[in-house]
Amino acid sequence: MRLSSARLILRPLRLDDWRALADIGRQPQVARMLPSLCHPWQEADIKAWIMRYQWTGALGFRLAIGLPDGALIGTVGLYGHPTGLAYFLAPAVWGQGYAFEASTCLLADAIPRFQMQRIVSGVFQDNPASIKVLEKLGFTRIGTGTGYVPARHAEVPSYSYEWHQAL
């Protein structure tokens, strides 16, 4: 699995990506938005996370988001039941449209590949940038809730989003 867009390359995660992921995931502004990561995110936890989300040809994976020069700037993936879209990026590249571009690239491949009819996603209410990405991707807000975030040691208000294939 290797996908590309105008500015990005999406490829399977490798164990040697752990340091780059650590640099991203340990930043407080990133960690506070990620309910699926241990905090602090240690080497063994990162490597286990990479192995959990390896590309196997089926849903339940994350891909590295890289620049053409090879720099890893985040991840994007589809996993869970129902299938959910998730992504995170290094703060140094926030605001440049990479989350939307990576998600669009992934979905353009995955929707026909897996004959997807529905995708969900969640976002914390204090994350307006991700709310904007999901809405630009065509997701619709369907509810509210909370999610526990290890980096915050708290339940955090969230929104649920959903995308449906037009029939």
pLDDT tens digits along 22-57:
999 999 999 999 998 877 889 999 999 999 999 999
> With pLDDT > 90 as the criterion, what percentage of the chain qualifies?
92
Query: Which domains does the chain show, CATH number per domain?
Result: 3-164 (3.40.630.30)
Cα distance between the two ends of the chain:
27
What letter represents residue 97's amino acid?
G
pLDDT at residue number 167:
57
pLDDT averaged over every residue in the chain = 95
pLDDT computed for residue 37 by the predictor: 81
Query: Cβ(77)–Cβ(58) under 8 Å?
Result: no
Strands 3-4 and 9-12: antiparallel
Closest listed residue to residue 59, CA positions, set 74, 77, 75 = 77
Task: Report the pLDDT value the prediction gives residue 39, as an integer from 0 to 100.
Answer: 78
Secondary structure of residue 134 in the 3-state scheme: helix
What's the rounded Cα separation, in Å, for the pair 160 and 10?
25
pTM of the model: 0.95
Rounded CA-CA distance 147/154 in Å is 8
Cα separation, 115 vs 153, whole angstroms:
38
Distance CA 134, CA 128 (A): 10
Q: How many Cα atoms are found within 13 Å in the side-chain-facing hemisphere of 5?
A: 19
75-125 pLDDT, tens per residue?
999 999 999 999 999 999 999 999 999 999 999 999 999 999 999 999 999
Q: What is the mean pLDDT of residues 51-64?
A: 97
What is the C-alpha to C-alpha distance for residues 155 and 40, in angstroms, rounded to an integer?
17
In this prediction, residues 5-20 reach a mean pLDDT of 97
- Among residues 148, 132, 131, which one has the least CA distance to residue 32? 148
Tell me: pLDDT of 72 over 90. Answer: yes
Quick: pLDDT tens for 116-130.
999 999 999 999 999
Tokens 């307006």 correspond to what residue?
128
Per-residue pLDDT tens digits for 141-166: 999 999 999 999 999 999 999 999 87
What is the pLDDT, as a whole number, of residue 125?
Answer: 98
